[in-house]
């Protein structure tokens, strides 16, 4: 069961992957295939993968190149990763504990999704787990100049919902997303119900 903090919250903001959707193992598989095809020689472990959760694919590849001294081409890895994930996406399942919270508050206060993913994949994921209709706004990495861990996407979600940032409650699984929400002045519920790869 997900325990919500006390507070006078006027809006909820949910991350998608790893928060509403149990999609992280699928993304990890897609990343492994993309990195292998891109010529990576390092082990892209589950821990490395989750430490980058919430970042865009391009930023993740840049960070991996710095960390491992590689020269992976971000656009090539990104294209392969997206194609691989699309081939797996029908396997995605909801994270019931989080979806239950969203359903319980639907229509009672404004809610949005703020994801570091791409619009087609995020919207398809929300459709597959049956929750897209619950959210007035779905924001993705392309909607802001700076991605997580910067606060931009959460601040934009608050603005779109017409709710002050300090009255928003964010649901997040990734460290980058949690940091982004905190930088936005929002309280965060850490989600840790998803599967492991």
3-class SS string, 4-39:
CCCCCCCEEEECCECCCECCHHHHHHHHHHHHHHHC
φ, ψ of residue 183 in degrees (nearest 5): -65, -25
Question: Tokens for 191?
Answer: 């989600």
Distance CA 15, CA 23 (A): 12
Of 6, 8, 15, 152, which one is the catalytic site residue?
Answer: 15
173 is catalytic: no
CA distance readout (Å), 118 to 50, 59, 81, 125, 166: 18, 13, 12, 11, 27
In 3D space, the residue among 1, 7, 56, 3 whose CA is nearest the CA of residue 168 turns out to be 7
User: Active-site residue numbers?
Assistant: 15
């Amino acid at each position: 069961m997900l325990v919500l903090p006390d507070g006078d919250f006027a809006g909820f903001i949910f991350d998608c992957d790893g928060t509403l959707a149990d999609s992280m193992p699928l993304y990890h598989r897609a990343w492994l295939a993309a990195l292998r095809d891109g010529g990576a020689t390092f082990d892209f472990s589950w821990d490395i993968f989750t430490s980058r959760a919430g970042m865009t694919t391009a930023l993740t590849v840049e960070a991996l190149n710095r960390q491992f001294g590689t020269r992976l081409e971000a656009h090539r890895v990104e294209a392969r990763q997206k194609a691989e994930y699309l081939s797996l996406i029908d396997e995605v399942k909801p994270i019931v504990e989080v979806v239950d919270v969203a359903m319980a508050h639907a229509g009672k206060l404004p809610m949005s999704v703020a994801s570091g993913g791409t619009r087609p994949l995020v919207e398809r994921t929300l459709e597959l787990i049956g929750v897209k209709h619950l959210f007035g706004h779905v924001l993705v990495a392309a909607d802001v100049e700076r991605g997580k861990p910067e606060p931009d996407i959460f601040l934009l979600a608050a603005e779109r919902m017409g709710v002050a940032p300090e009255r928003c409650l964010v649901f997040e699984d990734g460290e980058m997303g949690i940091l982004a929400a905190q930088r936005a002045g929002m309280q965060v519920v850490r989600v840790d119900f998803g599967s492991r790869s």
